[in-house]
Amino acid sequence: MRVGFFLGEAIGSMRRNWVMAMAAVITVFVSTAILGAVLVTQGNLEKGATSLKNRVVIEVFIKDEASQKAVKALENKIAAIPEVKEYEYISKEEALERFRKRFDERIVDNLNVNPLPASYEIQVKDANQVDMVARQFFNEPTVDNDPGTHNGVKYARETVRRMLGTIRIVGWGMWVATGVFALAAVLLISTTVRLSIFARRREVEIMRLVGATNWFIRWPFVLEGFITGLLGALLAVGFVYASNWALANWLKSSSIDFLDVDVINLIWQDAVWPLGLLPTLVILGAVLGAIGSLLALRRYLKT
């Protein structure tokens, strides 16, 4: 195979038809950028949701008069629950210290006794399990039954329920949007490639008359589609990366830093994108361009 000749033909034809080539590159760029933006947003939302879920904490308050033994028993009980991810003992002193930091120090300084109970802060593995874990402490004798809290067990029950529901709906919405934009990208790219080949169908006819084999005709077109897709997708990925980077920085410096937007992970591998999201998009663009050319040529290569 004459790689040099075919590559020369492909690049030469892109240079001579640069308006068409640019239009195709821009089409790939726009559609891939939109798709990429949707996917990155989805990834970020998912991450944000996970970090929100991880923040769901159950506070179990301990009666002041509880014995060391009883507290130890409570701890053993917590440790034995398989859904618990981690837990931490907060002593009365620590609780006061936190209060002092969070609120006005003077209030605390005026107190003679420490009114705050000791507690265990429990994080569960899955936010969906919060309710189930919390219920296990409702009737615990060691737990402080202060009215206003659920039997001394405090957790954002309604909030968690609503949050999980919202996350689920947003997640579905994002997948639908991804599907729609992926389809749009495929259609747009293949239409553009088909148009550019339609504009050159006479060329294909002449090549055949001169005795070119079908693959001899195909290779330059396929390479051209590949290069077009590659260029467009590279631009798109650069654009998506840059805007994600800017957004992440802005979020980190703003008050909603709990969303925990991560730039690097989108580039490198994770479970959903074994090759990394952005490299996958580049490959997708290039392959779509090549396959689009191949399919569009089919009708002009029939006898």
Partner 1 sequence: MIVFEDVTKIYDPNVVGLQDFTCHIGKGEFVFLVGASGSGKSTLIKLVLKELRPDTGRILVAGRNLGTLRHSKVPLLRRNIGCVFQDFKLLPNKTVYDNVGYALEVVGEPRKSIRRKVPEILSLVGLSEKTNSYPHEISGGEQQRVSVARAFVNHPPLLLADEPTGNIDPETAVGIMQLLVRINRTGTTVLVATHDRDMVNRMRRRVLQLDTGRLVRDEHRGGYDQVAASEEEGA
Site for partner 1, rule CB under 8 A: 2, 5, 12-13, 16-17, 202-203, 205-214, 216, 303
Q: Which is nearer to partner 1, 207 or 230 (CB)?
A: 207
Q: Least Å distance between CB 16 and partner 1?
A: 5
3-state secondary structure 222-290: HHHHHHHHHHHHHHHHHHHHHHHHHHHHHHHHCCCHHHCCCCHHHHCCCCCCCCCHHHHHHHHHHHHHH
Contact between residue 235 and residue 25 where contact means Cβ atoms under 8 Å apart: yes
Q: Which is nearer to partner 1, 6 or 137 (CB)?
A: 6
Nearest to 52 by CA among 134, 126, 150, 102: 126
Q: Least Å distance between CB 223 and partner 1?
A: 15
d(CA 254, CA 250): 6
Residue type, 4: G
Nearest to 233 by CA among 185, 275, 191: 185
CA distances from 240 to 30, 40, 97, 251 (A): 11, 8, 44, 16
Q: Which is nearer to partner 1, 117 or 225 (CB)?
A: 225
Q: Which is nearer to partner 1, 17 or 128 (CB)?
A: 17
Q: Least Å distance between CB 298 and partner 1?
A: 14
Q: Which is nearer to partner 1, 81 or 301 (CB)?
A: 301
Q: Provide the 3-class DSSP secondary structure of residue 62.
A: strand
Q: Maximum CA pair distance of the chain? A: 102
Contact between residue 72 and residue 272 where contact means Cβ atoms under 8 Å apart: no
Q: Least Å distance between CB 216 and partner 1?
A: 6
Q: Which is nearer to partner 1, 17 or 114 (CB)?
A: 17
